[in-house]
């Protein structure tokens, strides 16, 4: 049974009442307080202080403060008047029980209301945070879309200017060729007229020399010799790779005297410089334009995969690296370094997607090409450590 506390003091003004209770060495975190407008209880085991207040108070605006082993309570009065005492003088047990039960019901309702209010507030805060996040994400997407539209418009303008320049130059060249043909035709007719007049005026004139016969000059090229022993020779694959490279270069080649901004090699060099400078978006755009002009160059896809890796576009990085590996066939010594880079970039993208088994396959393929690369060996071992033993077996 709790011990009733009698060691307390109180004072009042017309606006508020103040109660001081000595806690008798009890820590503040063990104090349980219950207050309503008519009832006030402080329980700190084994002690109990309760007061059936003389007049109603505003318990919602009441305050509590603990210092130097004393609990200090302040309650604003509902009516501005002086009290005769702190508590009512009745000792009716039944009346006190009703007041306690009523206070307990009010206290539970107060806690329930506070809990509901707190839940509603937290829900509103979460809703506001979610809406704010969605708004920021939408603004980010709009900004990215705006940049894309700007780059697309810029590229369209550049391509249109380039096309007009080529068409204008082609028309000028055609006009010049036609003019030269007309000049040759006129000069030929003039020469023929002079010859006819010469023959008409002088029958004994010297005859023109007969037309010389055309001939063909046979040119023999030195055959390409591969130093690899015959039993290990990959001459067929080497020739196939050389043929594919030549076709790719012819597909995007321009005249030597008109190397312009939209040449695939020029765009690749531009993209490489942007990548070195840290402008990964600009590098990717340059590679996009180059692929649009000549989509048979593996380095364009491999380098764009590196840009996607830097910009966390991991699925696009996997696609570009796979496209580069498809073009790097047949596998020969001339494209070994390019195949190694493509395997490493695709393997890195797989690992970033937490597909460690697929990433390890690409790193092992790279090690088959360059088995003495210590960096690749260390990276492959780190990937193995992330894969469960059951999957490795």
262-392: CATH topology is: 1.25.40
β-strands 47-52, 3-4 pairing: parallel
Pick from 373, 371, 313, 387: nearest CA to 345: 313
User: Is the pLDDT at 83 greater than 50, yes or no?
Assistant: yes
* One CATH from 2.60.40.790, 3.40.630.30, 3.30.1490.20, 3.60.15.10 for 3-89: 2.60.40.790
Pick from 294, 292, 288, 285: nearest CA to 253: 294
Contact in structure between 377 and 367 (CB atoms under 8 Å): yes
**Confidence at 205, pLDDT banded by 50, 70, 90:** very low
Across 30-39, 65-74, 165-174, 194-203, the highest mean pLDDT is recorded for 65-74
Q: Is the dihedral of CA 386, 387, 388, 393 positive or negative?
A: negative
Q: CA angle 309-322-337, nearest 5°?
A: 80
Query: Which contacts (CB < 8 Å, 24+ apart) does range 28-33 have?
Result: 28/66, 28/71, 31/66, 31/71, 33/64
Across 2-16, 137-151, 245-259, the highest mean pLDDT is recorded for 137-151
Give the mean pLDDT of 223-246.
Answer: 66
The four Cα atoms 356, 359, 364, 369 give a dihedral, to 10 degrees, of -170
User: Is the pLDDT at 354 greater than 80, yes or no?
Assistant: yes
Give the mean pLDDT of 132-151.
Answer: 89
**Least confident among 51-55, 131-135, 338-342:** 51-55
Residue 313: per-residue pLDDT? 92
Contact in structure between 368 and 344 (CB atoms under 8 Å): no
Residue 367: per-residue pLDDT? 92
pTM of the entire predicted model: 0.41
Residue 253: per-residue pLDDT? 55
Cα–Cα distance for residue pair 40/32, rounded to 1 Å: 11
Q: Cβ-count burial of 284 within 10 angstroms (0-12 exposed, 13-18 middle, 19+ buried)? A: buried
Asked if the peptide bond before residue 337 counts as cis, ω within 30 degrees of 0, the response is no
Transcribe 9-67 into DSSP letters.
Answer: EEEE-SSEEEEEEE-TT--GGG-EEEE-SSEEEEEETTEEEEEEBSS-B-GGG-EEEEE
């Amino acid at each position: 049974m709790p011990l009733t506390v009698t060691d307390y003091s109180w004072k009042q003004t017309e606006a508020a009442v103040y109660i001081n209770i000595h806690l008798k060495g009890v820590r503040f975190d063990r104090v349980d307080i219950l207050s309503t407008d008519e009832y006030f209880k402080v329980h700190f085991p084994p002690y109990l202080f309760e007061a059936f207040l003389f007049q109603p108070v505003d318990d919602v605006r009441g305050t509590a403060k603990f210092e130097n082993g004393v609990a200090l309570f302040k309650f604003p009065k509902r009516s501005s008047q002086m009290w005769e005492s702190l508590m009512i003088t009745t000792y009716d047990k039944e009346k006190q029980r009703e007041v306690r039960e009523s206070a307990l019901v009010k206290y539970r309702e107060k806690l329930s209301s506070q809990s509901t209010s707190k839940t509603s507030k937290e829900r509103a805060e979460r809703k506001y945070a979610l809406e704010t996040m969605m708004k920021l994400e939408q603004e980010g997407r709009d900004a990215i879309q705006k940049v894309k539209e700007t780059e697309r418009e810029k590229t369209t303008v550049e391509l249109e200017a380039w096309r007009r320049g080529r068409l204008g130059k082609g028309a000028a060249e055609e006009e010049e060729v036609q003019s030269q043909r007309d000049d040759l035709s006129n000069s030929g007719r003039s020469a023929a007229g002079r010859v006819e007049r010469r023959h008409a005026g002088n029958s004994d004139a010297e005859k023109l020399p007969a037309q010389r016969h055309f001939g063909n000059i046979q040119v023999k090229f030195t055959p390409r010799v591969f130093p690899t022993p015959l039993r290990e020779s990959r001459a067929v694959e080497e020739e196939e790779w050389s043929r594919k490279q030549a076709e790719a270069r012819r597909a995007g080649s321009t005249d030597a005297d008109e190397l312009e901004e939209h040449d695939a090699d020029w765009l690749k060099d531009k993209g490489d410089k942007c990548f070195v400078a840290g402008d990964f978006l600009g590098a990717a755009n340059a590679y996009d334009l180059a692929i649009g002009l000549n989509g048979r160059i593996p380095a364009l896809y491999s380098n764009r995969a590196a840009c996607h890796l830097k910009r966390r576009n991991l699925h696009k990085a996997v696609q570009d690296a796979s496209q580069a590996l498809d073009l790097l066939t047949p596998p020969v010594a001339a494209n070994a370094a390019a195949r190694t880079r493509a395997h490493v970039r695709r393997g890195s993208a797989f690992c970033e997607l937490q597909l460690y088994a697929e990433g390890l396959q690409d790193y092992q393929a790279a090690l088959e090409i360059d088995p003495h690369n210590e960096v690749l060996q260390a990276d492959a071992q780190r990937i193995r450590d992330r894969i469960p033993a059951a999957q490795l077996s």
